[in-house]
Amino acid sequence: MLAVIAGRATAQASVTVEVAKDIKQASELLDQWNGGNDRLLRARVIVDRVLQAHPDYAEVHRLQARLLLSEGFRSRRNYLPGTLEAAARSVDRAITLAPDDPENHLLRARIHRLESQWAKGEAVLLKAEQAGADPAWVAIQRGDILDDQGRWGEAAVYYRQVLASTKATKAQRDAASSGMLAYYNLSGQLDDAERVYRAQIKDDPAFAWSYGNYAAWLLCWREDVDAALVQARKARALMDYGHARMVETAALYDRWSAHVLASRQVQADEAWQQAQAISGGDASDPALLLKEVCGGPVVLRALQAMRISGKGFRIGPADAVMLAADRAPEAVPGIFVMRVQASGRSGNGLYLNSEKDYRDQRNLSVHLLPKAQEELRRLYKQEPDTLFNGMVIQVIGHAQRTKIDFLANGQPTGSFYYQTHVVVGAADKIEVLENVPSR
């Protein structure tokens, strides 16, 4: 065992001089990455070359993990499928090769956080701290873990520690300022949040992401479509990158929704066409895109406009189940269409099922809450399960994967399966598309 450890240590030392220049260049490319492909492509060439020549060098595995995160990044907490798993494997290899390097543990803690494994992230962060990690980065990571759990006030304590420190670097102060944004937004201090965005733009007016992030905030928190479009277009003028296009498209969809709901057909068509032009004519769903960028009231407006106009996706049971599984634990907004093949009650809830067996993994269950049931009884003078039996229905809502435990004597057995539910709280969210029962 001692020989193995000694061999690893020798591997780290023997290649340091040889690859130091390459490692430094690749690290700087990642530090300077602004969302474009050029720096990532150059970093990829370097990392692949060093990995092939020195597969037991820990630092290149950490760089590989950082590069994978950048390559798979979509928006703040969204990554391409498989990105986090691949990055975790790379940094785990770096930790195996250099277990005392605090930078490896800091990156592993970050990946645990992105995977919503907060307890594991905190445990690894303690290892980084014990290994001598920079206290400012530890505080920022600890704040990020709390922020992701919705503990914004506690997170702000750590971010403020960094901002108050005279030893914090510009990168650390920028990270702490960005971390404060959730606290400002959710505590209603929107003017303070806006000052952070404006300061970031003033500090580096050529950095496209500052405009794109400000645009998303204007759309999602101020609900100011016009201002959001101005900033998104400034971002794209500097660099035509994916997130800025997403935000501009989302803003145009929100404008489209408002026009549809106000029966302004000409203006609605214009906004729709502008959104489609940015996406190159590719099919896109307003509600799904607005959920990814913002969430909140803008998604509901889009769903209502989609129902009125007929635009956007109509999601069947199979796609609903897959989307909900892919985005779990988050819910997926949409207009869901299915034939009711069975129904059942649990407590005071009524479930309309797309499959005859509600335990079928392909099943989509529409869960009617008591308020919706009572409204439907008043409207149609019959029980909702009788009303919808065999009918093709259209439902506005959110599909979410739900864990169902198997019970024995009223206690969980440890075995479970998943169902996919769309919860309906009001009668106006469900309607019959086809009045002929299936045979």
- pTM value is 0.80
Q: Class of the 205-313 domain?
A: mainly alpha
Q: How far apart are CA 237 and CA 38, in angstroms?
A: 17
| 313 token code pair | 């996706």
Nearest to 345 by CA among 370, 362, 374: 370
Query: Which residue has better confidence, 20 or 237?
Result: 237
Is the distance from CB of 144 to CB of 179 less than 8 angstroms?
yes
- Dihedral-angle region of residue 347 (phi above 0 means left; psi in -120 to 50 means alpha; beta otherwise): left
Q: What are phi and psi of 33, to 5 degrees?
A: -60, 130
Nearest to 233 by CA among 244, 222, 225, 221: 244
DSSP one-letter string for 108-174: HHHHHHHTT-HHHHHHHHHHHHHTT--HHHHHHHHHHHHHHTT-HHHHHHHHHHHHH-SS--HHHHH
Q: How far apart are CA 177 and CA 34, in angstroms?
A: 18
Give the burial string for 385-406 (b: 16+ CB within 10 Å, else e). Answer: bebbeebbbbbbbbbbbbeeee
pLDDT at 8 over 70: no
Same fold: 2-204 with 205-313: yes
Confidence band, pLDDT 50/70/90 cuts, at residue 282: low
pLDDT tens digit sequence for 146-178: 999 989 999 999 999 999 999 999 899 989 999
| 396 token code pair | 């506005």
DSSP letter at 315 equals: B
Domain ranges in the chain?
Answer: 2-204, 205-313, 317-434
pLDDT at 306 over 50: yes
pLDDT tens digit sequence for 384-403: 999 999 999 999 999 999 99
Percent of the chain at pLDDT > 90 equals 79
pLDDT tens digit sequence for 49-69: 999 999 999 999 999 999 999
Instruction: Look at residue 283 in the predicted model and tell me its pLDDT.
Output: 58
Looking at 3.40.190.10, 3.40.50.2300, 2.40.50.140, 3.20.20.70, the CATH number of the domain 317-434 comes to 2.40.50.140
pLDDT tens digit sequence for 86-112: 999 999 999 999 999 999 999 999 999
Long-range contacts formed by 51-56: CB under 8 A, 24+ apart: 53/19, 54/11, 54/15, 54/18, 54/19, 56/8, 56/11, 56/97
Measure CA of the first residue to CA of the last residue in the chain; give whole Å. Answer: 70
Q: What is the mean pLDDT of residues 319-326?
A: 94
Q: What is the mean pLDDT of the chain?
A: 91
**Residue written as tokens 């650390």?**
172
Q: Whats the size of the chain, residue-wise? A: 439
pLDDT at 34 over 90: no
pLDDT at 435 over 70: no
Confidence band, pLDDT 50/70/90 cuts, at residue 438: very low
pLDDT tens digit sequence for 339-384: 999 999 999 999 999 999 999 999 999 999 999 999 999 999 999 9
CATH topology of domain 2-204: 1.25.40
